[in-house]
A = this chain, B = another copy of it.
Amino acid sequence: MNVMNASPRRKELTRLAAQLFVQEGFDRTTVRMLAQEMGIKSGSLFHHFRDKQEILAAVIEEGTQNALVIAREALARCDSSPLARLHAMARAHLETLLTDRNAHVVALYEWRRLDPEARAHLSHLRDAYEALWEEVIDAALAEGVIHGDRFLVSRFVMGALNWTVRWYDPDGPRSPDELADELVAMITRTAPAA
């Protein structure tokens, strides 16, 4: 058994688990597959994690934590113009989503598999992240950079961005930043890119 510590070993295992969860999905990933990927036997897994659920929670927590940090840094780094902040936020979102991809795909698509306690705990993290978005969107609305219903706009934008993990090809011609800029251009009525 083990406390909920963040030993380096555990961090590494979490990273590997994220990869497998993305490849196979949480339910199809067996503890034996996880163990093999980690170079240990299945029983040893339960020294690091109480049960399979806890591995999932660790993956999602890690990913969301990172997203928060990156978004906050990006916001801190840019001036207070609503348009600039919108750009920064979109870029940060895609950067996280497409570089630290695994953890985020898991967070987006395996959320339902969390047990109620883990979900409650992680909800707070997610809410904190979404609060950043709403703040930026509120400012953009207030200044007339974008228009529409506050709630709907943020949902639509999040949808468009999160959906990228389903089709984006990192080896393709477009960088995450280009994607972000194109999306912002699409909704801000400024002159089109290109």
Q: Which of A25, A159, A161, A167 has the most CB of B within 10 A?
A: A159
Minimum distance in angstroms from A109 CB to a CB of chain B: 7
Q: How many residues of A contact B (CB 8 A)?
A: 35
Q: When chains A and B are docked, how far (Å) is the Cα of A158 from the Cα of B146?
A: 20
- Interface segment among A50-58, A117-125, A177-185: the answer is A177-185
Minimum distance in angstroms from A30 CB to a CB of chain B: 11
Closest residue on chain B to residue A157 by CB atoms: B160
Q: When chains A and B are docked, how far (Å) is the Cα of A113 from the Cα of B158?
A: 25
CB atoms of B152 and A179 under 8 A apart:
yes
CB atoms of A148 and B186 under 8 A apart:
yes
The answer to whether A6 has its CB under 8 Å from any CB of chain B is no
Q: Give chain B residues whose Cβ lies under 8 Å from the Cβ of A112.
A: 25
Minimum distance in angstroms from A145 CB to a CB of chain B: 12
Q: How many copies does the complex hold?
A: 2
The answer to whether A42 has its CB under 8 Å from any CB of chain B is no
Mark out the residues of chain A between 129 and 175 whose CB falls within 8 Å of any chain B CB in the assembled complex: 146-149, 152-153, 155-164, 166-167, 174
Q: Give chain B residues whose Cβ lies under 8 Å from the Cβ of A162.
A: 159, 163
Q: When chains A and B are docked, how far (Å) is the Cα of A159 from the Cα of B25?
A: 21
Closest residue on chain B to residue A165 by CB atoms: B159
The answer to whether A1 has its CB under 8 Å from any CB of chain B is no
CB atoms of A186 and B155 under 8 A apart:
no
Q: When chains A and B are docked, how far (Å) is the Cα of A149 from the Cα of B185?
A: 11
The answer to whether A3 has its CB under 8 Å from any CB of chain B is no
Q: When chains A and B are docked, how far (Å) is the Cα of A153 from the Cα of B192?
A: 12
CB atoms of B163 and A158 under 8 A apart:
yes
Q: Give chain B residues whose Cβ lies under 8 Å from the Cβ of A158.
A: 163
Residues of chain A at the chain B interface (Cβ within 8 Å): 25, 27-28, 109, 112-113, 146-149, 152-153, 155-164, 166-167, 174, 179, 182-183, 185-187, 189, 192-194
